[in-house]
Amino acid sequence: MAKAMCYSALIVLLIFWLSIGHSEQLQSSQAQTLLRIQRLLNFPALLSSWNNNTDFCNTEPTPSLTVVCYEESITQLHMIGDKNVTPLPHDFSIDSFVTTLVKLPNLKVLTLVSLGLWGPLPGKIARFSSLEILNISSNFLYGAIPQEISTIKSLQTMILDDNNFTGRLPEWLSALSALAVLSLKKNSMNGSLPNSLGSLENLRILVLSNNHFSGEVPDLSSLTNLQVLDLEDNILGPQFPQLANKLVVLVLRKNRFSSGIPAEVGSYYQLQRLDLSFNRFVGPFPPSLLSLPSITYMNIAGNRFTGKLFDNLSCNVELEFVDLSSNLLTGSLPNCLHPDSNDRVVLYARNCLATGDQNQHPFSFCRNEALAVGIIPHRKKRKQASKAVLAFSIIGGIVGGIALVSLIFLLIKRVNSKKTRTSTTRLIAQNASTGYSSKFLSDARYISQAMKMGNLGLPAYRAFSLEELEEATNNFDTSTFIGEGSHGQMYRGQLKDGSLVAIRCLKMKKSHSTQNFMHHIELISKLRHRHLVSALGHCFECYLDDSSVSRIFLIFEYVPNGTLRSRISEGHRRQELTWTQRIAAAIGVAKGIQFLHTGIVPGVFSNNLKITDILLDQNLVAKISSYNLPLLAENMAKVGSGFSSSGSKELSINVRVKHEDKNDIYDFGVILLEVLVGRPLNSRNEVDALKNQLQASITADDAARRRTVDPAIHKGCSDESLKTVIEICIRCLLKDPADRPSVEDVLWNLQFAAQVQDAWRGDYQSSEGSPVSPSQPRLQLIFK
Ligand SMILES: *[C@@H]1O[C@H](CO)[C@@H](O)[C@H](O)[C@H]1NC(C)=O
Ligand SMILES: *[C@@H]1O[C@H](CO)[C@@H](O)[C@H](O)[C@H]1NC(C)=O
Ligand SMILES: *[C@@H]1O[C@H](CO)[C@@H](O)[C@H](O)[C@H]1NC(C)=O
Ligand SMILES: *[C@@H]1O[C@H](CO)[C@@H](O)[C@H](O)[C@H]1NC(C)=O
Ligand SMILES: *[C@@H]1O[C@H](CO)[C@@H](O)[C@H](O)[C@H]1NC(C)=O
């Protein structure tokens, strides 16, 4: 009887055990491991329910905490902490943590999100030999992705988002042949993407956004399973990536892509989301993309797409969002995009569409810009040419310096002028506004740079002899001395042919041969642009004993008409620039900046621009007189930059390189601000205060706006034009460099302001001052 009782108790127990299904009894060592993890993580609130008696395998899973067991082992562990987590305390050791974690050897899925983990990810994480999914987002891990991970052959998903991993995307990724999802967004990784990426045949999702990756995207056309490619906010480009056609999401936003859209994109039949915004894409926008069968989101804003749109274009009915803003599109807004057609969002401002609303440019603007689009200096030829010239100069310097230089000067002059006429060619995209075919770019024609040079009216860049300079300045007589800045003395000279030049004299601190300076000279020789005080030539003065360089003279064109400040906020009333002239001057400065950034290689950034360094020539053309030449920086003591943004040292290197173009945009904003308010600005506080005032005036009425700006321009400016300039000025002055507009954006807005001002003047012209007489040489050439 007792025996029977005993049996039935056992059976009840057995039934009970069966009834709770697959409940597993965890190995006690693994339970200890979990408790140890709890301790290493400093007992987070998330794990507060864990104690010695917890039956880990049989607790109710929650969205933030889940343990899954199979046959007495943990196979899945999900721990998701608080979003606003801070790093774990100093005594946390990522190494001990991972060492403990890998004692759960059968783990297949591991999620450690927002736990405050910090430190370099230890390579021993690879001891998880059967790990399939790893998600360690939103922690504070840094350093390189450890190579040991390449041995986890079963890994299918690797998500390291929102940490601070650095270094390149490793070549060894191709060893992870099962990888289907790779996501590294919001880290600090850089360098170019490895070609091996193209061999990850199982890859479905590739997200590399918000890093500092640069260079061309490798050929991904063999990734036939790829559905999501998100490269937002890197420095990738210029070519459109080569991809297979199964893509569902393609995001190239905020990179440096500057090609056209290849025809294949029209075959992406599964494409739902296409975001190409804020690149430098050019060429025709194929309207057929609007009718791709799956498309719901299309953003091409902030590029230089051209082409004519027609009323009768068709769009996919599912389309929810379309942003065509800030391109060079002409024609009319397709009927299917009219905002009232359903509740889709359609944006198209700052094109040249015949809509009469949303801030369109006149047709001529898009046509002219389209002609300018795609101008790529043909650098190779140019380089060879300058090398030939340089070779001559080097020989001159080494053999005996000054005397010989003057002897071969004539020869150089001949070679030089010949070269400049033929050496550089530019690619011009013709008929961009009407072209539709994708052949468009290949049909582009070459025209000679010589015409451009001719327009500048400058003699070819050349080497000068010291005698020539002595003669031009009457042996550097004090009467020809203009001023002394941090970068040497400045003299005014008159050459034999009567032309005036400004000569900057740099005393060299270290002894170097001329050869050491040649790469600088090569850069300087390219500094020729309508809106720069252009370089005309150079001259080396060498010590006779060892032929090392004692002084370098840089010869610039002489710009006679004072600084921009002298015509805005310091001059006599009669000399002050009108609103139209001010916009023109601002456009000139912006074009000068654009040239410094993109017109020469390497670009010249962080120029510490000041309004006193903007000079005006006899036709009131604005020219930037001081730029960030490495030659000057290397040899001269640097002088504090006042309140300019380029002095802000707290930015990390990465940020600085990434937004290197935006320092100049800030400085430009300060100049524009002075142009608007008409009085000298002397501190950053003053700038900030005025910026806030202007900000407030934007939403106020016309009268309030006028009160904030220079009374001298009240009468002669149209409200729309004023408002446009105020808006762009404020954006240039934004704190975060990433938020500041590109120089192209600045230019478009200023040109828009100039056009509406023109139209307004045409209609209401009344009492605008006559242009300032061009014949008042005010010698105020200030080089700093
Ligand atoms: C859990 O058990 C260990 C020893 O096995 C003991 O040191 C610890 O105090 C116990 N913790 C709790 C919360 O009971
Ligand atoms: C990683 O895990 C977090 C938390 O569950 C989740 O929000 C995120 O979407 C995961 N990442 C990916 C790419 O699945
Ligand atoms: C990320 O790492 C870089 C280089 O190690 C460092 O300069 C930067 O401050 C880090 N960023 C964050 C958000 O920790
Ligand atoms: C990548 O970043 C590191 C610093 O984190 C830097 O030393 C390296 O030069 C960068 N490489 C490239 C190609 O930008
Ligand atoms: C759309 O209109 C343009 C000109 O108005 C015409 O050339 C074109 O054939 C039309 N296309 C369709 C599909 O009707």
Contacting residues for 630 by C-beta, under 8 A, at least 6 apart: 520, 523
Secondary structure E strands in 356-472:
425-428, 445-448, 462-463
Asked if 459 and 530 sit in the same domain, the reply is yes
DSSP characters for 487-513?
TEEEEEEE-TTS-EEEEEEEE-SS---
Q: Which residue has the CA at smallest separation from atom 13 of ligand 2? A: 159
Pocket (CB within 6 angstroms of ligand 2): 80, 111, 113, 135, 137, 159, 183
445 domain residue, yes or no: yes
Between the CA of 124 and the centroid of ligand 2 the distance, in Å, is 23
User: What does the buried/exposed string (b/e) look like for 686-713 if buried means 16 or more CB atoms within 10 Å of the residue's CB?
Assistant: bbeebbeebeebeeeeeeebbebbbebb
Asked if 549 and 570 sit in the same domain, the reply is no
Residue 461 is predicted with a pLDDT of 82
Residue written as token pair 């937002």: 232
500-507/488-494 β-pairing:
antiparallel
**Domain ranges, residue 306:** 258-265+277-289+296-361
Q: Is residue 187 within 6 Å of ligand 4 at its C-beta?
A: no
DSSP H or E run through 726: helix 719-732
Asked if 650 and 780 sit in the same domain, the reply is yes
The mean pLDDT value for 38-58 works out to: 92
Residue that is last in its domain, among 507, 542, 558? 558
- 638-656 pLDDT, tens digit per residue, is 333 345 444 433 333 334 4
| Banded pLDDT at 74 (limits 50, 70, 90) | very high
150 domain residue, yes or no: no
Domain holding 413: CATH number?
3.30.200.20
Asked if 566 and 553 sit in the same domain, the reply is no
Helix (H, G, I), strand (E, B) or coil at 379: helix
Asked if 390 and 348 sit in the same domain, the reply is no
Helix (H, G, I), strand (E, B) or coil at 515: helix
For the record, the structure tokens of 644 come out as 């300019």
Asked if 499 and 622 sit in the same domain, the reply is no
The mean pLDDT value for 544-570 works out to: 82
Asked if 460 and 485 sit in the same domain, the reply is yes
Residue that is last in its domain, among 558, 591, 621? 558
Give the N- to C-terminal CA distance of the chain in Å, as an integer.
Answer: 109
Q: Considering the chain, what is the average pLDDT of its residues? A: 79
Residue that is last in its domain, among 524, 558, 592? 558
Helix (H, G, I), strand (E, B) or coil at 542: strand
What is the pTM (predicted TM-score) of this model?
0.54
Asked if 768 and 670 sit in the same domain, the reply is yes
Domain holding 741: CATH number?
1.10.510.10
Asked if 680 and 776 sit in the same domain, the reply is yes
Between the CA of 135 and the centroid of ligand 2 the distance, in Å, is 7
Residue 764 is predicted with a pLDDT of 52
- 217-242 pLDDT, tens digit per residue, is 999 999 999 999 999 999 998 999 99
The mean pLDDT value for 582-596 works out to: 92
Q: Which residue has the CA at smallest separation from atom 12 of ligand 3? A: 164
DSSP secondary structure letter of residue 220: B
Q: Which ligand is nearest to the CA of 34?
A: 1
Q: Which residue has the CA at smallest separation from atom 12 of ligand 4? A: 191
Asked if 388 and 535 sit in the same domain, the reply is yes
Q: Distance between CA 487 and CA 520 in Å, rounded?
A: 15
676 domain residue, yes or no: yes
Most confident of 451-455, 628-632, 768-772: 628-632
Position 566: which residue type?
S
Contacting residues for 197 by C-beta, under 8 A, at least 6 apart: 169, 173, 174, 203, 206, 218, 220
Q: Distance between CA 704 and CA 345 in Å, rounded?
A: 33
Contacting residues for 684 by C-beta, under 8 A, at least 6 apart: 643
97 domain residue, yes or no: no
For the record, the structure tokens of 717 come out as 């400016």
395 domain residue, yes or no: yes
DSSP characters for 133-154?
EEE--SSEEEEPPPGGGGG-TT
Q: Which residue has the CA at smallest separation from atom 14 of ligand 4? A: 191
The proportion of the chain whose per-residue pLDDT surpasses 90, expressed as a percent, equals 42
Asked if 385 and 478 sit in the same domain, the reply is yes
Residue 727 predicted with pLDDT over 50: yes
156 domain residue, yes or no: no
Between the CA of 250 and the centroid of ligand 4 the distance, in Å, is 27
Q: Distance between CA 671 and CA 677 in Å, rounded?
A: 10
For the record, the structure tokens of 601 come out as 């290689």
Q: Is residue 279 within 6 Å of ligand 3 at its C-beta?
A: no
| Banded pLDDT at 505 (limits 50, 70, 90) | confident
Q: Which ligand is nearest to the CA of 54?
A: 1
- 78-109 pLDDT, tens digit per residue, is 999 999 999 999 999 999 999 999 999 999 99
Q: Is residue 202 within 6 Å of ligand 3 at its C-beta?
A: no
Pocket test for ligand 2, best of 114, 137, 184 (most atoms within 8 A of CB): 137
Q: Is residue 166 within 6 Å of ligand 4 at its C-beta?
A: yes
- 520-538 pLDDT, tens digit per residue, is 887 888 888 889 998 888 8
Distances (CA, A) of 600 to 44, 76, 379: 55, 55, 9
- 395-430 pLDDT, tens digit per residue, is 333 333 333 333 333 333 333 333 333 222 222 222
Between the CA of 140 and the centroid of ligand 3 the distance, in Å, is 10
Pocket test for ligand 5, best of 288, 310, 333 (most atoms within 8 A of CB): 310
Q: Which ligand is nearest to the CA of 63?
A: 2
Q: Length of the chain, please?
A: 784
326 domain residue, yes or no: yes
**Do 266 and 286 form a contact (C-beta atoms < 8 A)?**
yes
Q: Count up the domains in the chain and report the number.
A: 3
Q: Which residue has the CA at smallest separation from atom 7 of ligand 3? A: 652
| Banded pLDDT at 328 (limits 50, 70, 90) | very high
233 domain residue, yes or no: no
**Do 270 and 248 form a contact (C-beta atoms < 8 A)?**
yes
| 498 burial via Cβ count (<10 Å: 0-12, 13-18, 19+) | exposed
Residue written as token pair 């990784």: 189
- 142-196 pLDDT, tens digit per residue, is 999 999 999 999 999 999 999 999 999 999 999 999 999 999 999 999 999 999 9
Asked if 571 and 520 sit in the same domain, the reply is no
